[in-house]
Structure 1
């Protein structure tokens, strides 16, 4: 049903989970632990799946939070549960008992903690968010709550890996125009004018350049690993929709 980061597991008073698609009540293309409120799955099934995930992290369903993600660099500081999800792609808090969740189905979920300041963060980082600065925004917001970037531990969760992430020439050009060094994250694919993109490597370098020294990568590919939901795999299989994986972090009370 879930797995974790060795670095985060070593932090006292912290719970986290990279949830798989196993252990829920959804069926069909959503089988079975679909946490995506934006999917076309039965809302009652999604609610029960999210309740199970909340229970795994020892919080109530109202304290298991995910934002309305829009592939932005926007971050919200969370102090209480909400009824209406804010439009943002990252959250930070120093309040125990609030589980910060990221919904993903190929994009990168990145979890953060400063064990000394007792500040956590969670970011949804697809290519748009990564190049747009969502990781740096999350780190800055954590600093606003008293964190020090030299103390922050981060974990890169399941995402689509380079061997399955084919992109076109315009995509490559966008990254190389932003920074010539970004060429290192592309290798030629078997198709003309296409390349394979290393999203995890790009995220890691953004974190390193932001001063994050302790980085774990669970090295799971959402496309290749059938335990995970994958948007791109669903497209290739011509499925009408896809489930969402949830990945979350919470400070113990």
Structure 2
């Protein structure tokens, strides 16, 4: 989803789907309803409390917003459920094994991707009968390498094998390719087909919310877009 449409107003105007955005709660609920309806009319939206963790959960029945578990990925084989992940520069990853009837959604910022959220999501999908070679994964809008400057301290979190995802910038700094890194993790984990969207949340202001853009501008708040997936009815 982009930020276009929706009922939120002010600094986060549009289809703002994050409860942590200091937005009107009724507006957020309506935006989430609109988003879920566009994917599966009559479906029930299920989300998690995202914490940049490597944790994935299996969804067998919907839970209330107050009871949502802390995790950064969710998978299901149940029809009627719409899995949703909110992002504002991190990479949303949507996964499906059509043959097995299993879908998943993951929130993959650098910390979660490096920590294993992708592999955890795939393992959870396998619990439901999915096969990695049959899984197709789409990487949604996230911050692009040209917009993602990091410092030497950030680079030190990664191994030498990850060098292709870092381009040297000004002294002591690098440009990090989050989308490329996530695609690499998916491919190395055995996913059959990986499709990056190649959309930059930072640069495309009319289309996407961006945490880093808001931070650079000194804005007190930022919105979140939602990425969703569901099994067909």
Q: How far apart are the structure 2 equivalents of 1:213 and 1:76? A: 22
Aligned: 1:204 with 2:187: no
SS at match of 1:175: coil
Q: Is the counterpart of residue 146 in structure 1 residue 129 in structure 2? A: yes
Cross-structure match for 2:165: 185
TM-score under structure 1 normalisation?
0.89
From 35, 53, 61, the equivalent of 1:53 is 35
The two structures have a TM-score, normalised by structure 2, of 0.96
Give the Cα separation in 2 of the matches to 1:57 and 1:130. Answer: 26
SS of the equivalent of 1:167 reads strand
Could you tell me whether the CA contact under 8 Å between 2:40 and 2:82 is conserved in 1?
no
- Name the Cα RMSD after superposition: 1.0
Q: Report the counterpart of residue 118 of structure 1 in structure 2.
A: 101
Q: What is the count of residue pairs matched by the alignment? A: 230
Take 2:84 and 2:184, find their aligned partners in 1: how far apart are those partners?
A: 23
The structural deviation recorded for 1:32 is 0.9
For 1:31 and 1:25, the matched residues in 2 are separated by 7
Q: Could you tell me whether the CA contact under 8 Å between 2:139 and 2:179 is conserved in 1?
A: yes
**Structure 2 residue corresponding to 1:235, chosen from 191, 203, 215:** 215
Tell me the SS of whatever aligns to 1:252: coil
SS of equivalent to 2:158: helix
**How many angstroms apart in 2 are the aligned matches of 1:187 and 1:58?**
40
State the match for 1:85 in structure 2.
68
After superposition, where does 1:214-233 map in structure 2 within 5 Å? Answer: 214-226=193-205, 227-233=207-213
**1:163 correspondence with 2:146:** yes
State the partner residue of 1:74: 55
What is the distance in 1 between the residues matched to 2:83 and 2:30?
18
In 2: Cα distance, 1:213 partner to 1:169 partner? 34
Post-superposition offset of 1:56: 0.9
Asked whether the equivalents of residues 94 and 139 of structure 2 are also in contact (C-alpha less than 8 Å), the reply is: yes
Structure 2 Cα separation of the partners of residues 47 and 60 of structure 1: 15
1:33 aligns with 2:12: no
Contact 2:40 2:230 in 1 (8 A): no
Runs of 4+ with deviation above 2 angstroms:
58-61
Unaligned runs of 5+ in 2: none
1:60, distance to aligned residue in structure 2 (A)? 4.1
Contact 1:51 1:60 in 2 (8 A): no
For residue 174 of structure 1, give the secondary structure of its aligned residue in structure 2. coil
Alignment correspondent of 1:15: none
Instruction: Identify the residue that residue 103 of structure 1 maps to in structure 2.
Output: 86
CA contact (8 A) 1:59 1:99 kept: no
8 Å contact kept, 2:76–2:102: yes
- Asked if 1 retains the 8 angstrom alpha-carbon contact of 2:89 and 2:201, the reply is yes
